Amino acid sequence: MERLINMLYLDITGTNLARMPEGMGKLKDLRMVTNFVLGYQTGSSINELGKLKHLRGRLSISGLKTVACAMDAKDANLKDKVDLKKLKLRWDKDDDIDGDSRHDREVLKQLQPHTNLEHLVITSYKDIIFPEWVGHSSFSNMVSLGLHDCKFCISLPPLGQLSSLKSLSISGLSGVLIVGDEFYGNGQASTKPFQSLEMLRFENMAEWEEWYCWSDEAFPLLQELCIGDCPKLTKSLPKHLPCLKKLEIEDCEKLGGLLPTAPSILKLELKTCQALQLEPLEQMLQQCTLLEKLHLDFCSEIRSLPEVRVPIKLKRFRISFCEILDYSDIFLYKSLESLAIGSGKCYGLESFPLGSFPMVKSVRFWGCEDLKFISVASEGAHHQHLNSLEINFCQKLMSLQIEDELAVTNLTLLNLFCCGSLKSLPEQMHSVFPSLETLIIQSCPEIEWVSKEGLPSKLKEIRIGRSDKLIESLIRKRE
């Protein structure tokens, strides 16, 4: 390799290289190397990077655990590589600290890049705190940053001082209990904390309990906030996020406090938030006139849906495993275009009139134990928008009722799976579902009747399985 002195680009993406070959420093014209892999045995050491003065674009350094002397990391001379825009620094991914963890901090300190850097990812770093340069305000060009699997860190760096930061992802920092002033810059910054941030993600923070936001001016441009697998998070999210468009919270079983005021929100997804009750959800939705998508899954303490005082134009709604919810509240939302309901007890949902949602295009039920009847009665008008109807694992469902002379004119997909009590398909199917193209019936053993007029003329695909009575009926009709 050392003889290829005119090489400009080295891409080892997708290889299992254990370490870089010896003599990498001799490739003095090298402009880009996708991953500089360090190993314990023979091969190029990290100080060889210092001889590659023309590196630019992106660089990943893997195996930093093998760096024996922090001064070797200094010799890599990242600080002088002014054209380097993307940098990934990776230690070995394991659960133990070998030796003095402060050695990792000293190595990372010496790997400080030039302030022109725009994208930074640090993975599996082993010390309890980060060196001062991580989050320093001098990195005014930084637009994205990721801290992943730094399991022993107990405190976040002052990332709020990064004036151009737009995307921030933090995951696997199991030692962090509190996110507080240090995250914003200890009140030292002269500008608003996270003044440019648009996307913020926290995931797999096993011990995180509290999030303090000392300034209502923080996150003025935040558009997307995702929090996942933070089982001990109990208190406080930022109170006011004026530009937030998407909020996702998943597997935060103890989070029961107020949700942010977010008048611009379009998408709200709450999953496995078992301590969340109606009041914080209702307070949030009072100002969410633009909300289009709402998902509620495994929110076992929500008893009813919010009766919002302002009109919302909700288009997509999914709700499942909300064990004590009165599902009849769904009929508050007349503007729905997509509706999914399941699983378990669906109190108040013995009968479901599709005509209550004149704009709905897609409806899916699964595992609704109480559902017995689904009907189409739209005040004398055909249902013109529904194109997909899927009903799965609804064992008590007995009937699909279509009023005389009505039709679901644009339905193209009808999927029935494991509906053990359903005995027949709608009469005059060819006229009730004139646009039907796909019919799927699986594990519906009691369906045995097909109308004399037969199946819809536009049907392109039919799948029937474990529904013996229906199959026999179709065979007899052909005879």
Question: If you average pLDDT over each of 21-30, 207-216, 222-231, which comes out highest?
Answer: 222-231
219: DSSP letter: S
Is 291 within a domain? yes
In DSSP terms, which residues pair with 389 in a beta bridge? 363, 414
Question: If you average pLDDT over each of 4-18, 342-356, 371-385, which comes out highest?
Answer: 342-356
**Residues 238 and 293 grouped into a single domain:** yes
| 189, pLDDT greater than 90 | no
Distance CA 167, CA 287 (A): 26
User: Of 309, 344, 379, which marks where a domain is finished?
Assistant: 344
Instruction: Match 């799965």 to its residue by tokens.
Output: 392
**Residues 261 and 377 grouped into a single domain:** no
| 168, pLDDT greater than 80 | yes
Q: What is the pLDDT of residues 412-439, one digit of tens each?
A: 999 999 999 999 888 888 888 999 999 9
H helix or E strand, kind and range, residue 470:
helix 468-478
Please provide the DSSP assignment of 161-213 as one string: G-TT--EEEEE--TT--EE-HHHHTTT--SS-TTTT--EEEEE--TT--EE--
Distance CA 470, CA 444 (A): 9
| 191, pLDDT greater than 90 | no
Work out the average pLDDT over 163-174: 97
What's residue 174's pLDDT?
Answer: 94
**Residues 337 and 356 grouped into a single domain:** no
Distance CA 237, CA 283 (A): 14
What's residue 398's pLDDT?
Answer: 93
What's residue 41's pLDDT?
Answer: 67
User: Of 344, 376, 395, which marks where a domain is finished?
Assistant: 344
**Residues 431 and 331 grouped into a single domain:** no
Nearest to 79 by CA among 47, 111, 52, 54: 111
User: Is residue 100 very low, low, confident or very high in pLDDT (cuts 50, 70, 90)?
Assistant: low
Please provide the DSSP assignment of 25-53 as one string: GG-TT--EEEEEE--SSSS--GGGGGG-T
What's residue 380's pLDDT?
Answer: 53
H helix or E strand, kind and range, residue 272:
none
**Residues 474 and 355 grouped into a single domain:** yes
Within 8 A by CB and 6+ apart from 73, the residues are 46, 47, 64, 67, 106, 107, 108, 110, 111
Work out the average pLDDT over 83-108: 84
**Residues 339 and 418 grouped into a single domain:** no
Nearest to 78 by CA among 108, 98, 100: 108
Work out the average pLDDT over 451-464: 86
Distance CA 144, CA 160 (A): 12
Is 106 within a domain? no
Q: Are 173 and 205 in contact (CB under 8 A)?
A: yes
Work out the average pLDDT over 124-149: 96
Is 271 within a domain? yes
DSSP, collapsed to helix, strand or coil, labels residue 343 as strand
DSSP, collapsed to helix, strand or coil, labels residue 145 as strand
Is 401 within a domain? yes
* Mean of per-residue pLDDT scores for the chain: 88
| 479, pLDDT greater than 90 | no
Distance CA 441, CA 434 (A): 18
Work out the average pLDDT over 239-249: 95
| 98, pLDDT greater than 70 | no
Distance CA 304, CA 330 (A): 9
Within 8 A by CB and 6+ apart from 114, the residues are 78, 79, 80, 81, 82, 84
Dihedral (CA of 342, 345, 347, 350) sign: positive
DSSP, collapsed to helix, strand or coil, labels residue 405 as coil
Distance CA 103, CA 451 (A): 78
Q: How many domains does the chain have?
A: 2
**Residues 326 and 312 grouped into a single domain:** yes
| 365, pLDDT greater than 90 | yes
Distance CA 401, CA 404 (A): 9
Provide the terminal-to-terminal Cα distance of the chain, rounded to the nearest Å: 76
User: Of 312, 329, 344, which marks where a domain is finished?
Assistant: 344
Is 64 within a domain? no
Q: Are 172 and 204 in contact (CB under 8 A)?
A: yes
Dihedral (CA of 265, 270, 273, 276) sign: positive
| 467, pLDDT greater than 90 | yes
Distance CA 462, CA 425 (A): 14
Nearest to 225 by CA among 163, 179, 283, 289: 179
Q: What is the pLDDT of residues 59-81, one digit of tens each?
A: 999 999 999 899 999 999 999 99
What's residue 197's pLDDT?
Answer: 98
H helix or E strand, kind and range, residue 106:
helix 102-110
Is 65 within a domain? no
Is 368 within a domain? yes
**Residues 469 and 408 grouped into a single domain:** yes
Is 12 within a domain? no
Range of the domain at 238: 223-344
Work out the average pLDDT over 256-272: 90
Within 8 A by CB and 6+ apart from 282, the residues are 306, 307, 308
**Residues 285 and 364 grouped into a single domain:** no
Q: Are 173 and 202 in contact (CB under 8 A)?
A: no
* Exposed / middle / buried, residue 405 (Cβ in 10 Å: 0-12, 13-18, 19+): exposed
| 90, pLDDT greater than 80 | yes
Q: Are 272 and 298 in contact (CB under 8 A)?
A: yes
Nearest to 181 by CA among 149, 150, 214, 152: 214
Quick check: pTM over 0.85?
A: yes
DSSP, collapsed to helix, strand or coil, labels residue 103 as helix
